[in-house]
Amino acid sequence: MAAEKLRCKECGSEYPLEALYVCERCFGPLEVAYAARGAGDVAALRRRIQAGPGDLWRYADFLPLAGGPPGPSNHLASRAGLPAGWTPLISADRLAERLGLRELWVKNDAANPTHSFKDRVVAVASARARELGFSALACASTGNLGNAVAAQAAALGLPSYVFIPADLEEQKVLGTGIYGSNVVSVRGNYDDVNRLCTEVAGEHEDWAFVNINMRPYYSEGSKTVAFEIVEQLGWELPDRCIVPVASGSLFTKVHRGFAEWLELGLVSGRQPALNGAQAKGCAPVANAFAAGQDFCQPVKPNTIAKSLAIGNPADGPYVLDLARRTGGGVDAVSDSQIRAGIKLLAETTGIFTETAGGVSVAVLSELARRGEIGRDERVVLLITGDGLKTLDAVRGSFEAHEIDPTLAAFEAALGQAVR
């Protein structure tokens, strides 16, 4: 299934596989189009995937690289960069029981090299950037993407430029600068940062802005979440996925991943219902869904879920369409629900997620409470980042028992604790 061209999602105009992202005719977004592939030997294709490496390059057949995947069998081997993907899919029985669900799985993408799903998109974008001969990596980031770009650039021996809003969580800033990246802290929100980066990308043509001029390749990396879920469920589909929504790119690509494999016959059944999760403090897509609109009204973000704080989401209209067509939805939850969601996941699964994961858990809880999840459904909850990245959100959520170093003091404290 070789990548063949870039195609406009709106008008269908076609372009070569270069660093292009906007249609010249209608300003629509460009997406990678692949050569048609006949219904071949499904069993053989499955075996080929299963024999692949233990990272997202096992899905190289479905990713937009001209020269094949970086890896031991490729001349790019020594510049393969950080491997990403093939994260655990964990059965969450106790959380399911708490929410009254039959079958619940957590896809834990905090297990990636820089602890968020962004390592996937950066792995694909940077591999393609190398093929196209770029000399630096760059991005506009709400935090996690900056971590992933800085680390990947360090692994590849390339300079990097990471543009972030100035009010970002300290953990995410430190987790970028430590890799030797050039961190540019912009006085403004993410939408301001993104606008600035679009201008910078126009001036510095040898920089690969992974989520701007490399966006068509970058976003394809998100399909691998869907592929992994199918493979880890034993080549079966879930009935429903809960997906956090920032720009909406992950949501649309999870759909596309399932759709591509359904089309090829690699998996059978029906497209899973997709439920988008947003924070009430930045809910342009959830608002539009509730109002029955096809487009999003931009908002000024104000939420602890900063990695989802994109007030003008590029893929918003596509998310709305897919949420409706799959029988899903888009919901928003408050900051206190997000904090409760982080705690609930941690206490029932042993997974500590960042605020964006708290958004997903809280939306799942809401859907369960409203009875919108069928009794027999198999549900997958996407956890996209690690709790150590957003420690402020959970500060003060419990108290340690401070004691003198004596057994008596401990026993007294224990007595109080079980009171």
Going by their DSSP bridges, the two strands 136-140 and 378-383 should be labelled as unpaired
Comparing CB distances to Zn ion, the nearer of 15 and 235 is 15
Burial of 277-286, coded b for 16+ CB within 10 Å and e otherwise, reads bbbbbbbbbb
**Residues 166 and 143 sit within 8 Å (Cβ to Cβ):** no
Comparing CB distances to Zn ion, the nearer of 21 and 218 is 21
Residue of 11, 166, 178, 388 interacting with Zn ion (CB under 5 A):
11
- Tell the smallest beta-carbon distance from residue 10 to Zn ion (Å): 5
From the list 254, 226, 286, the residue with the least C-alpha distance to 89 is 226
Based on the shown chain and the rule CB under 5 A, indicate whether residue 192 belongs to the binding site for Zn ion. Answer: no
Where does this chain touch Zn ion (CB under 5 A) — which range of 15-23, 143-151, 155-163, 350-358? 15-23
Where does this chain touch Zn ion (CB under 5 A) — which range of 26-34, 147-155, 159-167, 406-414? 26-34
Based on the shown chain and the rule CB under 5 A, indicate whether residue 24 belongs to the binding site for Zn ion. Answer: no
Comparing CB distances to Zn ion, the nearer of 13 and 185 is 13
From the list 345, 331, 333, the residue with the least C-alpha distance to 394 is 345
Based on the shown chain and the rule CB under 5 A, indicate whether residue 14 belongs to the binding site for Zn ion. Answer: no
Residue of 3, 6, 7, 8 interacting with Zn ion (CB under 5 A):
8
Based on the shown chain and the rule CB under 5 A, indicate whether residue 10 belongs to the binding site for Zn ion. Answer: yes
Based on the shown chain and the rule CB under 5 A, indicate whether residue 26 belongs to the binding site for Zn ion. Answer: yes
Give the integer Cα–Cα distance in Å for 260 and 238: 15
Where does this chain touch Zn ion (CB under 5 A) — which range of 16-24, 124-132, 165-173, 367-375? 16-24
Based on the shown chain and the rule CB under 5 A, indicate whether residue 33 belongs to the binding site for Zn ion. Answer: no
Q: In what order do the strands lie in the sheet with 103-108?
A: 89-91, 103-108, 378-383, 240-244, 273-279, 329-333
Based on the shown chain and the rule CB under 5 A, indicate whether residue 23 belongs to the binding site for Zn ion. Answer: yes
Question: Residue 227: which H helix or E strand, with range?
Answer: helix 223-232
Distances (CA, A) of 398 to 249, 343, 358, 394: 35, 10, 17, 9
Where does this chain touch Zn ion (CB under 5 A) — which range of 4-12, 209-217, 245-253, 327-335? 4-12
Distances (CA, A) of 89 to 76, 86, 380: 30, 9, 9
φ, ψ (nearest 5 deg) of residue 256 = -65, -35
Which chain residues interact with Zn ion by CB under 5 A?
A: 8, 10-11, 13, 23, 25-26, 28
